[in-house]
Structure 1
Amino acid sequence: MTEQTRRPSLLNRIARVLLCLVFVNAVIGKLTGFGAVAGVIAAKGLPLAPLLLVAAMALMAVGSALVISGWKARLGAILLLLFLVPTTLIFHSDVADTMQRIQLLKNLAIIGGLLLVIDRDPA
Structure 2
Amino acid sequence: MGAIIFLILVSGFFIFGEKQKIGSVILLLFLIPTKIIFHVFPFDQKAVFMNLKLVGGLIISAIRKPK
TM over 0.5: yes
Superposed CA RMSD in Å reads 1.7
Question: Deviations 1:63-104 (Å, cap 9, x if unpaired)?
Answer: 210111001100000111121011000000037x4xx11101
User: TM-score, structure 2 length as denominator?
Assistant: 0.84
Aligned residues: 66
Higher relative contact order (CA 8 A, sep 6+): 2
Q: Equivalent residue for 2:54?
A: 110
Which has a greater percent of helix? Answer: 2
Q: Equivalent residue for 1:26?
A: none
User: TM-score, structure 1 length as denominator?
Assistant: 0.48
The alignment-based identity, stated in percent, is 35
Structure 2 counterpart of 1:78, one-letter code: V
Distance in 2 between residues matched to 1:82 and 1:58, nearest whole Å: 16
Distance in 2 between residues matched to 1:78 and 1:121, nearest whole Å: 14
Larger radius of gyration: 1
